[in-house]
Amino acid sequence: MLYDAVARPGTVSPDELRAAYEDEVRAAVDAAGVDAAADVADVSEDILSNGVLELTLEQAASILALTDGNPDADAIAWEFRDHLLMGMTTGILDVDTLAAEVELDLSGQEIQQAIEGRTAATLSELAAIHHAIAVRNER
């Protein structure tokens, strides 16, 4: 799934991590078909054809769930969030410190809400958060 798109996410840039997420989503789009993926993610087919996928975690998870052998969209999204939370625990990292370490215009509270699924987060935002957590854990 998305959380393991790169074996060592702290060794690549957030942009490279986001690109790895996109590669997984694009493979699922190719397997399921653009029309089915666009329908399940509630986006236009043009969005799935652009160079950068500006999808939320929920949209990406919906597309990934179309692929045989993958769990449902909710399980994919929660597994990703759980991975981030476990990484924060392992790295003894709170949301305010995380907010200071990522190059996003998000407060610690907004990052917490995104990780917990209370607000939508894009793949770009999640890549920045995931990267910062991974860097902290690789120290």
Query: How many whole angstroms separate alpha carbon 118 and alpha carbon 52?
Result: 24
The pLDDT value recorded for residue 50 is 76
Task: Evaluate if residue 113 carries a pLDDT over 80.
Answer: yes
Q: Which residue would you say has higher pLDDT here, 52 or 112?
A: 112
Q: Is the dihedral of CA 100, 113, 104, 126 positive or negative?
A: positive
Q: Evaluate whether 11 touches 139 at the Cβ level (below 8 Å).
A: no
CB < 8 Å & 24+ apart, contacts of 105-109: none
Write the pLDDT tens digit of every residue in 4-63. 999 999 999 999 999 999 999 999 999 999 999 999 999 999 999 876 678 999 999 999
pTM: 0.94
What is the per-residue pLDDT for 138? 87
**pLDDT for position 51:** 67
pLDDT at position 1 is 79
Q: Phi, psi (5° rounding) for residue 122?
A: -80, 165
pLDDT digits (tens, 9 = 90+) for 76-91: 999 999 999 999 999 9
The pLDDT assigned to 65 comes to 97
As a whole number of angstroms, the distance between CA 98 and CA 102 comes to 6
